[in-house]
């Protein structure tokens, strides 16, 4: 490959996902050779992350009435992102799915407890990694078997990367993350429009099993549950309660089937 | 028609975030969203099937934002002064996080509006250069120079904020 000289201009291209794929490796090598350029890139990436976090919460704010009315001028109000409606939905899902023990455990603002911690970590990881353009995952979906085997081994339970293709989400890949000096696993999915969701799994021994609970933070929402000493969370941004609930239910069933299988 | 309305309404949270990146004041930001929605609903037939509702709506927002800036220009002759942030030596972690958010938003709103819009569309909303240039109605080269200058400005403003914060700590 011919190496072209890189400049600061390429730092912006790289941050904005506009650097041609075939030049990325050489670009990273150039950064490794130029510590000041690497520091500049990292600094810009850090500023961008601060900006994202500062504005992430706006997405889930309740709409002021003067804006909400645009959605009401039709027969059924479409305010599906209003999380106030999720509570009723979760109970309905639990009752309708045959998973009786999932019933009822809606908590609008969970505080403390191992399960809430799982959700907080899942949201944090989601916000940080789902915003990545270039380095979303460590191991891509093209090595799915290796990815699932590796993460199962590190986390210590039989995992599957649930199939969400019925909802339009395809596996991008996964990551290993630290959680209290132990390993946590994260699978990331993406739909055709580029929207991303993630499944987070971490060991959480000692805490009793829970039903589905909801946590919203940093502009993202997680539906999470504890089961058999492990915590699980499905996290998304700007997704309707119905869709997130369906995805979490599907993940639960696929994980359960794998662990029994 | 109803499908179009649903698609537009589903974009309101994203429109609000973009507006808040453009305009510091929450009410002004929601004014911009409201004006944009009214214009969008009055021109639904201008939206071609298959076009991304977000790009169409953001284009409308951009036109109104430019109008707003021009209207506001004379009134804002004085330089914007960032709100003084910290007021003590010890800042608890939770407040520190809010302080960081406030600093980055202050810095963002201190940079030139056209650089701010370019940077936010690409870095925050994930538009490609081509999409952002199209939305803003400028050539890609202009967009790229606005983004790189915007990033430089943001970095310089954040460095100023950090310096101010440490000076205050030393003085206290």
Mutate to test the interface with A, among B24, B145, B148 (most CBs of A within 10 A): B148
How do residues B19-72 score in pLDDT, each as one tens digit? Answer: 999 998 888 899 999 999 999 988 888 887 777 889 999 999 999 998 888 776
- Assign B33 to helix, strand or coil: helix
Q: Which residue has the higher pLDDT, B128 or B172?
A: B128
Residue A80 lies in a domain: no
- A14 and A92 co-located in one domain: no
Query: What is the third-level CATH fold of B85-172?
Result: Arc Repressor Mutant, subunit A (1.10.10)
Sign, Cα dihedral of A142, A146, A152, A153: negative
Residue A227 lies in a domain: yes
Could you tell me which of B93, B100, B84, B35 has the C-alpha nearest to residue B64?
B35
Cβ-Cβ contacts under 8 Å between A and B: the total is: 95
Dihedral over alpha carbons B105, A49, A13, A33 (to 10 degrees) = 120
Q: Which one-letter DSSP state was computed for residue A210?
A: -
Query: What is the third-level CATH fold of B1-78?
Result: Rna Polymerase Sigma Factor; Chain: A (1.10.1740)
Q: Which of A75, A107, A123 is the last residue of a domain?
A: A75
**Neighbouring residues of B155: CB distance < 8 A, sequence distance ≥ 6:** A43, A44, A47
Q: Mean pLDDT over all residues of chain A?
A: 80
Put simply, whether A16 touches B (Cβ < 8 Å) is: yes
Domain that holds residue A51: 1-75
- Tell me which chain A residues have a C-beta less than 8 angstroms from the C-beta of B10: 78, 80-81
Instruction: Kindly state the tokens that stand for A123.
Output: 């949201």
For chain B, the domains span 1-78, 85-172
Instruction: Kindly state the tokens that stand for B58.
Output: 């953001």
Number of domains in chain A: 2
Nearest to A48 among B5, B10, B123 (CB): B123
Nearest to A66 among B21, B34, B123 (CB): B34
Instruction: Give me the half-sphere count of Cα atoms (radius 13 Å) on the Cβ side of residue A37.
Output: 17
Q: Which of A23, A40, A75 is the last residue of a domain?
A: A75
**Helix, strand, coil percentages, rounded to 5, for chain B:** 75, 0, 25
Q: For B20, list phi and psi in degrees, rounded to 5.
A: -70, -25
How many other C-beta atoms lie within 10 A of the C-beta of residue B91? Answer: 16
- A23 and A42 co-located in one domain: yes
Q: Is the pLDDT of residue A110 over 50?
A: no
Cβ–Cβ < 8 Å for A110, A116? yes
Q: What is the pLDDT of residue A122?
A: 93
Q: Is the pLDDT of residue B146 over 90?
A: yes
Cα A22 to Cα A4, A131, A137, A173, B74, distances in angstroms: 12, 22, 18, 21, 48
Confidence band of B168 (pLDDT split at 50, 70, 90): low
- Tell me which chain B residues have a C-beta less than 8 angstroms from the C-beta of A43: 155
What average pLDDT does the segment B124-128 reach? Answer: 92
Confidence band of A73 (pLDDT split at 50, 70, 90): low
Mutate to test the interface with A, among B14, B118, B123 (most CBs of A within 10 A): B123
A63 to B124: CB separation less than 8 angstroms, yes or no = no
First-to-last alpha carbon distance for chain A, in angstroms, is 48
How do residues A37-67 score in pLDDT, each as one tens digit? Answer: 999 999 999 999 999 999 988 888 888 888 9
ipTM confidence score: 0.83
How do residues A231-244 score in pLDDT, each as one tens digit? Answer: 999 999 888 878 88
């Amino acid at each position: 490959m011919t190496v072209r000289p890189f400049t600061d201009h390429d730092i912006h291209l790289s941050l904005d996902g506009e650097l041609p794929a075939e030049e990325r490796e050489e670009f990273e090598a150039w950064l490794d050779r130029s510590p000041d350029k690497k520091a500049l890139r990292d600094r810009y990436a850090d500023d961008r992350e601060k900006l994202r976090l500062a504005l992430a919460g706006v997405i889930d704010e309740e709409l002021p009435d003067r804006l909400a009315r645009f959605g009401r001028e039709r027969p059924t109000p479409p305010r599906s992102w209003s999380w106030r409606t999720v509570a009723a939905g979760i109970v309905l899902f639990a009752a309708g799915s045959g998973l009786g023990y999932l019933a009822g455990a809606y908590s609008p603002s969970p505080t403390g407890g191992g399960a809430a911690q799982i959700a907080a970590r899942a949201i944090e990881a989601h916000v940080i990694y789902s915003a990545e353009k270039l380095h979303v995952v460590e191991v891509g979906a093209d090595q799915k078997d290796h990815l699932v085997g590796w993460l199962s081994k590190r986390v210590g339970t039989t995992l599957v990367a649930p199939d969400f293709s019925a909802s339009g989400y395809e596996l991008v890949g996964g990551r290993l993350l630290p959680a209290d000096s132990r390993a946590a696993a994260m699978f990331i999915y993406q739909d055709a429009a580029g929207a991303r969701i993630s499944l987070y799994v971490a060991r959480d021994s000692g805490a009793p099993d829970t039903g589905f609970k909801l946590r919203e933070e940093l502009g993202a929402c997680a539906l999470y549950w504890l089961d058999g000493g492990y915590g699980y969370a499905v996290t998304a941004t700007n997704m309707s309660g119905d869709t997130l609930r369906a995805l979490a239910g599907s993940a639960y069933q696929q994980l359960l089937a794998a662990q029994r299988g | 028609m109803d499908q179009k309305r649903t698609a537009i309404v589903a974009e309101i949270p994203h429109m609000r975030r973009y507006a808040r990146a453009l305009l510091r004041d929450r009410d002004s930001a929601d004014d911009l969203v409201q004006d944009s929605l009214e214009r969008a609903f009055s021109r639904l037939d201008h939206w071609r099937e298959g076009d991304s509702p977000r790009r169409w709506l953001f284009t409308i927002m951009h036109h109104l934002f430019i109008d707003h800036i021009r209207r506001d220009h004379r009134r804002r002759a004085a330089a914007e002064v960032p709100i003084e942030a910290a007021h003590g030596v010890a800042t608890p972690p939770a407040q520190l996080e809010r302080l960081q958010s406030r600093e980055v938003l202050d810095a963002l709103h201190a940079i030139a509006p056209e650089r701010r819009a370019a940077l936010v569309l690409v870095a925050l909303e994930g538009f490609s250069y081509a999409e952002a240039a199209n939305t803003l109605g400028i050539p890609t080269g202009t967009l790229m120079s606005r983004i790189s200058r915007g990033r430089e400005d943001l970095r310089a403003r954040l460095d100023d904020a950090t310096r101010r914060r440490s000076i205050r700590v030393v003085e206290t």
